[in-house]
Amino acid sequence: MPDDSLPLDLETRLILETQARKQAESELARKTRELRAANRELAGLADALADEIDTANQATFRAEQRLWDAVAGMRNGFALFDADQKLVQANEAYKFFFTQLSLPMATGDTFGELATLLADSGIIVFEGQSRDQWLDEITSWHRSSELSHRIIRMQGDVWLKAWAKHTSSGDTVSLIADISAAKRRERELLEARQQAEGASRAKSAFLANMSHEIRTPMNGVVGMADLLCETSLNEEQQLFAHTIRNSAEALLVIINDVLDYSKIEAGKLDLFPERFNLERCVHEVALLLQPRAHEKNLDLLIDYDMFLPAHYIGDAGRVRQVLTNLVGNSIKFTSDGFVLVRVVGIEGANGEAKIHVAVEDSGIGIPADKLDHVFGEFNQVDDQTNRKFEGTGLGLAITKRLINMMGGEIWVESTPGEGSCFGFRIALPTCAESPVPAVPVDPALKRALIVDDLKVNRVILSRQLGALGLKVTSCASGRAALDLLATGAGFDVILTDHQMPEMGGVELARACAAQGVEAPILLLSSGNSVPANVLAENLFVATLRKPILRGELCDALATLGAQPRLKPVKPVKTALKQPVPQRRLRLLIAEDNRTNQLVLSKVVRNLDVDIDMADNGIEAVERFRKGDYDLIFMDISMPEMDGIEATRKIRAIEAEQARAPIPIVALTAHAMSGDKERFLAAGMDDYMSKPLRKSLIRNKFDEVRANLPP
């Protein structure tokens, strides 16, 4: 019978295939489930992403809406143009600039088209340009890649300011603002400024006129008071005359302070640097103020560094004003002792020297709580309700302003009851032709005796003579000097003060002569003169007036030598120089004021001068044309022809006739900045401010005589 059973290996294979199929179906079912789960998850993610995208779109829309709402609410116009300069969107303010002019404006319009509408509207002010020029310029500007702006002026006093800036995407942001109110305010401010400047000019003119009007009669007051003081008056009359003169001078100080302070406040005070002699400047200030110091029996001293150059570049007038204020202030507040001007300096960079000036005094001093206020305006050290010292209180304030203008600094140190020291430091360019002065002292001079009751004077002289190589001994009185000489101490030169307690310089010299002292004696005097009968005794080889210039001291020592001296010798140098016979000067004075004519004629009457007087510039020119003069004093303010025009005509006559220029000195009551330059530019050589000082006139005459041909 047939065997229908399968082989074992086939059955096994079928079983295995069946199992494999079941496993595959199971795996397929599992994968299907996983795929369905993944599809469900993906669908959820897609829904979530769609929600987020929708949320983001809504947020973006809201942000954009807020932005355009903000732009729409702007008072200034805002517009966006694409890369082709076509309008994408604009706020109402931007559109308003066109709609108020009834100009059509729509999205898609180019900036050039909008600018053309404006140009053709008839309301644009082209500011000197043609329509096409303005249009080309403004469209070119809007295409610029940099943030910039343009001002667009329209009729009816309307001004627009437009900005343009390219974005990173190539678009252009355009802004427009109405600046008409700002422009009107700007114009108002400009008008106010012009009015203020006009008021300032009016004030300056007023000050100049006031200066002239006040100084002209003051010239008569001061001049006549000076002349009156020189006449024979009894004691009471002398008091009256001096009071008139002093009061007038005090009034002039007040006028000058107010004028200077007004100019400084208005920024009208300028510096005019030029070459000047600092040592001579200090000395001139001392000589000017010495009479005031002498009235109070004060010693006015100068300690100028022996090896410091004298010539610098600076405003000599303002430096002199600073020194006058400080020295005058010290004299004012010092009743006994001295006032000392000390000048030292060190070489700085760039050809400049740092000059240190100190004005020391032995006056009342300043309380510590007042030191910070001394340079303030209208301040006085003493209590305002019980003022002992008169003045505007502006002098030191002006001084500080002047020093600051020179780039320097000023300070004060003081001890109440002992004195004060005002110091300032400025940098001045040095003159290449001004080396340190030589000191040609005879080498035979080795030993010097100084006799002076004032310690500070002994210290100054000791330092100066020591710098010249002399060995110095000092005595505080004439008696102490005689006692020292009696011991056999020998000296090559003796320097003695004139006025000393108990025994003055003259008595000391007489005693030295009686004791057979052989050393030559120099008399140092703070007074105006030494009596002629004293000079006739030939007690002194030289008489030097304090404060002493370095050159004068060196010159006096250079003439001495060390030869024995058994009896008084004839003076080599004296403060009272005998006048050398010279021809009289021929002076032409152009002055319209009768009082000033009288004052000038009286002031110069004893100065070997022949005078011709002209009442105005025309007459001055005619007199010059026909006459031969050595000097002309030319008033500035005169009727018919002023002094400046007269000077120009005189200079023209000189050029036409090939005549040597005659010195012309301006006489002016003006005191404003720039006057000096104006006078010099007209051809004048110098100027004097009224009221005129006899000493300055005398100096001018001496200067002219020195330049006359032999």
pLDDT tens digits, one per residue of 301-324: 899 988 888 889 998 888 988 998
- Which two three-digit tokens encode residue 43? 């669908």
Calculate the CA 303 to chain-centre distance. 26
Beta bridge partners of 609: 585
Task: Give the amino acid at 45.
Answer: L
Question: What is the reported pLDDT for 72?
Answer: 64
Question: What is the reported pLDDT for 5?
Answer: 54
Q: Which residues contact 236 (CB under 8 A, 6 or more apart)?
A: none
Burial 446-461 (b: 16+ CB within 10 A, else e): ebbbbbbbbebbbbbb
Q: Which residues in the chain land under pLDDT 70? A: 1-8, 51, 55-73, 145-147, 204-205, 207-209, 211-212, 265-266, 268, 377-393, 432-442, 527-529, 561-582, 669-676, 709-710
Question: What is the reported pLDDT for 68?
Answer: 65
Task: Give the amino acid at 315.
Answer: D
* Pairwise CA distance, residues 274 & 319, whole Å: 12
Question: What is the reported pLDDT for 357?
Answer: 95
Identify the DSSP state of 110.
Answer: B
pLDDT tens digits, one per residue of 460-490: 899 888 888 889 999 999 999 999 998 888 8
- Which two three-digit tokens encode residue 194? 């012009």
Residue 695, CA distances (Å) to 534, 603, 688, 691, 700 in order:
25, 10, 12, 12, 9
Question: What is the reported pLDDT for 572?
Answer: 39
Beta bridge partners of 423: 358, 411
CB 226 within 8 A of CB 605: no
Question: What is the reported pLDDT for 673?
Answer: 54
* Pairwise CA distance, residues 462 & 456, whole Å: 10
